[in-house]
Amino acid sequence: MKKIKNLLLISITILIILALFHKKIFTFGKSLIPYEYKVLIKAKIFRLINRSDVNMARVMPFTQFDEINYSEIKIEIEKKKPVGYLDIHNNDLIIVDGKGKIFYEKLKNVYSKNINFKNIETNIKEKFNIKNLDIQKLLITDIFIKKDLLFISYAFKFSEKCVSPGIIYGVLNYKNIEFKNLYKTDQCSDPEKNPNILYASKGGRIKSLNDKIYFTVGDYSSGLSMDMKSIFGKILEIDLNTKEYKIFSSGHRNPQGLEIFLQNGNKILLSTEHGPQGGDEINNIKFNKNYGWPISSYGEHYIFKSGDNFKLKKNHIDYGYEEPIFSFTPSIGISEIIKVPKNFSKYWEESFLITSLNGRTIYRALFDENFNNIKNIEKIYLGQRMRDIAYDSLNDSFVILLEDIPSLAILNSLN
């Protein structure tokens, strides 16, 4: 039996290696082998061969029109989810892990696969009065850089009955960052009602336009998404000068992606949101609008079984809520959304990239002029959970933080 298994493994390995160097084999088998399986097998063989190498193998994702250059680089970072979040400052890549440790490296070293992350000291432990950085107590939910200011969002367990979200910020330097509060609330969600509350439905994305910060707050299983006195299940607009906030939109479950930009002088705010069982959403966020949770969703509660009646309304607008631009069923574990700059590729103009966790796929989407509908969506399978993505404008590249094998992916166009 052992011999048969070994022979089978050797045969498969030979076929895959041949396929790597002869595209015709993959083309010939296109109707028999789904593309996702080809890429996944290809990636696993590459990683098996390069297991001891810091530089992960190059696995070329398929796109319909553009020719993409793609590579992965393994990084030494703790493999606890969330692995972390990233952003780019000048010529440097900045990463914060889920516990609050901050690292940086020159982008030129990232591209040359010569990575040696350096730590940045902070006052985070003192700020939260904790001895050690521990995701059971403090969970980081995003990083955002605006000029020379570094913003970090978090969920913190202040007591056995209180978990709260917030944002700290400090002047970005590479020696020691002194963080201050930008947004802190005395509103709490009770962890005793949901032991996994620190990890589930927390939101936490940060983006900025002009002097405003936009902050997504999940419902933290609080049931308060419709309560306009509560910050849970909302997107907040925070004034950078006064630190005052207002509720920008409501009726959210777990908005984990955010993009904001001006189009013809109008502010466009797009959000991606985790549904329950099914129903991951892309939403066009408008001021004072309600997005339906926990009344309307194209997903269902996790306790749903075949034969049950729907508990959630499969319509938003009839109940006074905003319809999503698009809803994914089954869920893809939707994460970040980012606008593709015009100079990235002539084939991807006006596109947006949407990353996913469970789906292990990037979705390239084209919206209509008013962001009410998706005109086209292309699946680009990478085979790893994608937590975060940032654009390096100096090198016309996307940098993606992958979770399964903590690594960075570099994506650029050859056109």
Kindly provide the b/e burial profile for residues 183-213, where b requires at least 16 CB atoms within 10 angstroms of the residue's own CB.
beeeebbebeebeebbeebbbbbbbbeeebb
As given in the structure block, the two tokens for residue 84 are 């972390």
Strand partners, 410: 71, 399
DSSP SS3 for 92: strand
Cα 290-294-296 angle, rounded to 5 deg: 70
Give, as one character, the DSSP assignment of residue 404.
T
What is the rounded distance in angstroms from the CA atom of residue 234 to the CA atom of residue 250? 4
Query: What Å distances lie between residue 224 and 167, 220, 241, 415, CA to CA?
Result: 20, 9, 28, 48
Beta partners for 376?
366
Other beta carbons within 10 angstroms of residue 164's beta carbon come to: 20
State how beta strands 118-122 and 326-328 pair.
Answer: unpaired
Smallest Cα–Cα separation from 218: which of 183, 257, 253? 253
Residue whose entry in the numeric block shows the structure tokens 């103009």? 349
Kind and range of the H or E element at 235? Answer: strand 234-239
Closest to 74 measured CA to CA, from 301, 409, 298, 392:
409
Strand positions, DSSP E, 42-100: 68-74, 84-89, 92-97
Residues 91, 105: Cα–Cα separation, whole Å = 9
**CA–CA distance, 145 with 390 (Å, rounded to integer):** 11
Which one, of 353, 349, 399, lies nearest residue 377 by Cα? 353
Euclidean distance between the first and the last CA atom of the chain, given in angstroms as a whole number: 50
Q: For residues 132 and 150, what is the distance between their CA atoms, to the nearest angstrom?
A: 21
- Helices marked H in 53-185 — which ranges? 107-111, 124-128
Tokens linked to 238? 């925070």
Task: Check residue 16 and give its pLDDT.
Answer: 62
Contacts of 85 (CB under 8 A, 6+ apart): 95, 96, 140, 141, 142, 143, 387, 388, 401
Q: Could you give the CA distance from residue 218 to residue 197 in angstroms, rounded to a whole number?
A: 10
State residue 341's pLDDT score: 96
The residues of the chain scoring below 70 in pLDDT are: 1-60, 198
List the one residue out of 34, 152, 6, 5 whose CA is nearest residue 87: 152
Domains of the chain and any CATH numbers:
1-55 (no CATH), 64-413 (2.120.10.30)
Measured CA to CA, the distance from residue 177 to residue 59 in angstroms comes to 37
Q: How far apart are CA 326 and CA 283, in angstroms?
A: 7
**Can you tell me the distance from the alpha carbon of 57 to that of 46, in angstroms, rounded to the nearest whole number?**
5
CA–CA separation, 295 vs 251, rounded Å?
Answer: 9
Model pLDDT, residue 367: 98
For the stretch 328-371, pLDDT in tens is 999 999 999 999 999 999 999 999 999 999 999 999 999 999 99
Question: Tens of pLDDT along 86-127?
Answer: 999 999 999 999 999 999 999 999 999 999 999 999 999 999
